[in-house]
Each structure stands twice: as C-alpha cells, then as structure tokens.
Amino acid sequence: MQHQIHGTTLQTLEIQLQPGETVYSQTHQMAWMTESINMDTNTGGGFLKGLMRSLSGASLFLTQFSASSAPGLVAFCPRFPGTIIPRNLQAGESLICRKETFLCAQSSVQLDIFFRQQIGGGLFGGEGFILQQVTGPGWVFLDLSGEVVEKTLAPNETLQVHVGHVGVQDPSVQFNVRLLKGFKNILFGGDGIFLATLRGPGKVMLQSMPIVNLAEEIFRHGSATPAADKPGNLVGDIIGGMFRGE
C-alpha cells in the first residue's frame, strides 16, 4: 500500500489506494480524498463490537475508504501535533495503543480493545483498564503526540516512565505503576505520585508531549487570571500535582 507522510510536527498522511484496496479510520480523521474514493461509515463488525470499542474512548463508528474502479487518494490528519508511525504488521502481530493513538489501518488489520491485567496499572495508569489493540496482517498508522523515542527492553529489563509518555507497547511488555519514592518528590516534584514500570522483553514507543500536558498548558496560559498564578495557591498546586493522572 503506497503512502506518504508530509510535514514534521504537524503531519499529514496520504494513502494511494488501488482498486480493491480499503483503509478505515475512526470518525473525524479524514482530511481530503479524490472523487474515485468510496466512503462508508459503519460499526466495524456489528453494534456490539462498536459498543465495546467505544469503552476504550474510541468512536462507536468506523469509516471505510475504498477505491473501486479507479485508483484514488485519501488523506488523514491527526488532531494534535505529533508523529505518524507507519507499521506493516505481520499476521498475528499486535501492538497495544493508547485510545487516541489509532489513526487508520488497512482493512485486514483488526482493531480491538485491550484490558490491563494489573490492578495498579488500570487504576493509576492514566488510561484506565481499557486500551486499544491492533493486530495484523497489514498496514496500521499510529499517531503519537510530540516526538517519538523507541526503546527495546531486554528480558526483565525495566524502565521507569511518567505514565503520560507511554504511547505504544508490544504485548510482551509488562506495564504496572509504582509509588514515586521520596516524600518531598511527591509533594513538590509536580510529577504526580505514580510512575509507570515497563518490563521487557519487547519494544515501547514513548511520546515527548502527552496531549493532556499540552491541554493543561493551553488552559493555564489562556485563562485571564490563571489560578496557578494567584498568590497563596501553593497547597492547590501541590494537591493538583499529586493526583494528576497524566
């Protein structure tokens, strides 16, 4: 499947479809398409499957784009600054993704929900118990916020990560959370009270700018009199930082 990614931090994905080829995305992802592309919105496998998928924060409906009698082009744009990651998955190969990460995929790729098995990871991992899982064969295009750093973890090798920076991981990578060490770090560090523990083997993609962090900064700077800038708000800052999920 021919595709091209344009741009740097505000990227656009263009896919050239040949007759018989189909890609699908969640709703509100398509940017433009040629006249030869057919568009069909449905629940992507039935209402029950769409409802289950919506539990992860995804849309109930999926939109399919296909070229029938002539080649065509369809383009997708992420909804926030970031990096588009193309992956050609082999049959049975899977990736675990955050709910906002999925951009589009070839029709042969299966999009499902994924349940975290660890109680701590589900309660304090920022995304809850339910994530998304994509399974090959076929091309899938993921969108991570900011720049992307890929780490390969050896068996039993661990990496401590702020939960908002975990974007995509292999199913073999274990994810759990632990309490941040140090009383002063919890009260005054401003990084919350939990860190994600990633344990290999497997690969993980880390994103440099979690979308929640960006939203917080826009809100803080966009307010006429931000609460954080008012004097005497130290206690509020401390409590808010302790329990911020991202």
pLDDT tens for 67-80 read: 988 999 999 999 88
Domain span at 124:
2-223
- Mapped onto helix, strand or coil, the DSSP state of residue 90 is coil
pTM (whole model) above 0.75: yes
Torsion of CA 226, 232, 238, 240, to 10 degrees: -40
- CB under 8 Å to 48, separation ≥6 — which residues? none
Within-domain flag for 25 = yes
Q: Tell me if 246 is assigned to some domain.
A: no
CATH number, domain of 198, equals 3.60.160.10
In a domain, 83, yes or no: yes
In a domain, 60, yes or no: yes
Is 240 among the domain residues?
no
How many domains does the chain fold into? 1
196 domain residue, yes or no: yes
Three-state DSSP state, 215: helix
Quick: pLDDT tens for 106-160: 999 999 888 765 544 444 444 555 789 999 999 999 999 999 999 999 999 999 9
Residue 100 binned pLDDT confidence (cut-offs 50, 70, 90)? confident
CB contact at 8 A, 148 and 205: yes
Residue 106 in domain: yes
Q: Which residues pair with 15 in a beta bridge?
A: 3, 74
- 3-class secondary structure, 121: helix
At 41-65, the pLDDT tens digits run 987 766 666 566 666 566 778 999 9
Whether 245 is covered by a domain: the verdict is no
